Amino acid sequence: MGENPRPQQFMYRVLVVEDDYELADLLSEVLTYENCTCEVVSNGMEAIEKLRGEDFDAIVCDLILPRMDGEALYKEVERVFPYLANKFLFVGPTAASRGGLGDFVYQTGNALLEKPFEMDAFRAAIAELFNR
């Protein structure tokens, strides 16, 4: 007799670009529970290097970063890895959404979570990102 096949489970690969190490660890832990594997880097330059060597399904990116900020990283990803341009989830301080960065994020078509945010909001934003 034939057994019902088990549903296929997908592991998403997520690049977390966050210079706050405690927040990066927390996001990584939450993503693990959401069936993801994570790589964490602390700035945009490191993110570009990771993207050149590995495949990712999504990028969780702080807007305010040392060396290369989230906007510059997005523009480089859009140029070099265009298939990832709509797979960003930006995080940033409340002030970022009121300044020019909010307009920038809106133009990309990606979501922005304002810090501090609830983990339930983060989970919902990640689920929406994977369903795009």
Go through the domains of the chain in sequence order and give each one's CATH number: 12-130 (3.40.50.2300)
Report which residue type is found at 7: P
Q: Would you state the structure tokens that stand for residue 102, as one six-digit string?
A: 């909010």
pTM for the model stands at 0.90
Specify whether the backbone of 52 is left (phi greater than 0), alpha (psi in -120 to 50) or beta.
Answer: alpha
| Contact criterion met (CB below 8 Å) for 35 and 76 | no
Condensed to tens digits (0 to 9), the pLDDT of residues 45-103 reads: 999 999 999 999 999 999 999 999 999 999 999 999 999 999 999 999 876 556 678 78
